[in-house]
Amino acid sequence: MTQIHPKGHQMPSNFPVELYEVIRVIRKVPLFLEEHLDRLYQSARVAEVHHLPGPVALEEKLISFLRNSKVSEGNIRLSLTIHSNEDVPEPAMAFIPHRYPEGRNYAEGVRLRTLMSQRELPNAKIYRPVLSQRTDEIIAEGKYYEVLLVNHKGYITEGSRSNVFFVKGNRLYTPPTQQVLPGITRKVILRLCIENDILISEEPIKLLELDTFDAVFISGTSVKVLPVSHIDDHQFERANMLIRRIGRLYDTQIESYIRNKIMP
């Protein structure tokens, strides 16, 4: 059985439901923690999940976990598994294996492959084992760094673990927020573009229009701002100046955040 959200979205009624965030840690600082917690509760609202621990309690548990850990760099997975409408879940957190791009990936760009698939609730970060398994299999073959999802209308939405941006001239394009998981890195990039007078448009991107763009990059917790050399058989600029500028702005934002959040 499926519940219908007032706006017409179909809501999952089968438990358990697992909400989660993957947070990058640098020098024991969880990057953009406030935004991650905001998205966690937004995911809960979209999935109609109630009775979660409060944000202050979650932040305290995470900070305590980091203080007591010998690990100072990596990715933490924070998850909440809800078993019923009345369940108040205990947060689970652990450092998980990560794959950060190498220097040559930033210099040469990476290859992406498209996959006809879409998330049921794109604005909610909910674990979807079937989709994750399929994209993991493609990436494990070694030819492609990431998989781009294409919906049934032929529009590119997002990567399996990333958001995607396209460059045409001096303007950025990215799929609309309502079509994608609003990534934390994506959110920071959008803000940086506004603050630095970089032109950006949120609009649907057709798979058939790929050849009209000059360059592409993906963004995410692990990849940061990563240039793309190919999508399927389409080739793009590897050293686009606008992408390099955004990458520098994002790295500067990370360092500023860490300076303000260094734990005693």
* pLDDT at 89 (0 to 100): 84
User: Which band of pLDDT confidence, cut at 50, 70 and 90, is reported for residue 6?
Assistant: very low
The DSSP secondary-structure symbol of 210 reads: G
Higher per-residue pLDDT: 90 or 212: 212
pLDDT in tens, 29-50: 999 999 999 999 999 888 888 7
- Bridge pairing between strands 10-11 and 199-202: unpaired
* pLDDT at 14 (0 to 100): 66
What is the rounded average pLDDT of the residues 144-159? 96
- Range scoring the smallest mean pLDDT among 125-134, 201-210, 223-232: 125-134
What is the rounded average pLDDT of the residues 96-102? 94
pLDDT in tens, 66-83: 999 999 999 999 999 988
Q: Which amino acid is at 96?
A: I
Distance CA(161)–CA(183), nearest Å, equals: 9
Domain boundaries, the chain: 3-96, 103-254
* pLDDT at 129 (0 to 100): 80
* pLDDT at 4 (0 to 100): 33
The model carries a pTM of 0.89
DSSP string computed for 27-57 = TTEETTHHHHHHHHHHHHHHTT---PPPHHH
Mean pLDDT of the chain: 90
* pLDDT at 60 (0 to 100): 95
DSSP string computed for 63-127 = HHHHHT-S--SEEEEEEEEE-STT--PPPEEEEE---PPPHHHHHH-EEEEEEE---SSTTS-B-
Give CATH for domain 103-254. Answer: 3.20.10.10
* pLDDT at 128 (0 to 100): 78
Q: Which fold has domain 3-96?
A: D-amino Acid Aminotransferase; Chain A, domain 1 (3.30.470)
What is the rounded average pLDDT of the residues 189-207? 97
